[in-house]
Amino acid sequence: MLSSLSPCPSPNSIVLKFISSPSLNPNPRFISLPLNCSNPSTTSATVSTSPTTSTAPERKKRKAPRRFYPGESEGISEEIRFVAMRLRDDKAASEVKSDEDTWQPGLEGFLKYLVDSKLVFETVEQIINDWNDPSYIHFRKSRLERTERLMKDLEWFEKQGCTIPEPSPPGRRYSTYLKKLAESSAPSFLCHYYNLYFAHATGGVGIGQKVKPKLFGDRELEFYSWDGDVHLLLKDVRNVLNNLGMQWTREEKNKCLKEAAKSFRFMGQIIRLIVLL
């Protein structure tokens, strides 16, 4: 009797048959395998053949494009100019300006202004000429230098019988600040350097023209004259600064721009000496 029974098929053959013949398994998700071939009545085990659900790969988040600063494409000098334009519209910056009727300069205050200006320009030019930082070497002999010209103007006023004062607190504070800044950050210091010469060649000349008829008549001060076209000299300095700025990181450029407000605040305090006794 036992010999008449068909041999028990192997589990592998059953699995293959169910996979290849859907008609033999009306529910292809499940395959019944006998647990014991010698006892057909034994309950079959159910094995799931449902396909494994694959997880979709996570999409990488795209980085937002970096924000460009106003004027960045043209160079750091243009970025400084945009900052200066914003500051010009601020109330703090406009306090320096006064109507011609109320702005009454005095000779004593103007001499303080010249003395403090000489101290500041002298500090800047000593740093540029004497310090070994590679960034400063590029700005030597720019023909924008003011120290010697201010010395000549102060000598002339002294010959007219004027008493030349000592540097006042605004000039001393600015000089000290520039020395410390030049040691710690060349980009930050060069913001002051650029603004100082640029502001004098534009707004400074305007101040000279306004006080001239009231304080020293037809005398042409050396402080307001240059050997050559000052705008071309400024252009040369601007090109050097832009080329140097291309080597700075964005962080260094931001440090430079943050100094713009400080430079105008220091200069504003010195300009106020003209009308303050």
Answer positive or negative: Cα dihedral of 99, 102, 106, 110: negative
Domain 74-89+101-274, CATH homologous superfamily name and number: Heme oxygenase-like (1.20.910.10)
pTM: 0.73
Give 192-218 pLDDT, tens digit per residue: 999 999 999 988 999 999 899 889 888
Q: Check residue 7 and give its pLDDT.
A: 46
Whether the pLDDT of residue 10 is over 70: the answer is no
Give 83-100 pLDDT, tens digit per residue: 988 887 664 444 544 445
Residue boundaries of the structural domains of the chain: 10-46, 74-89+101-274
Cβ burial of 120 (10 Å; 0-12, 13-18, 19+) is: buried
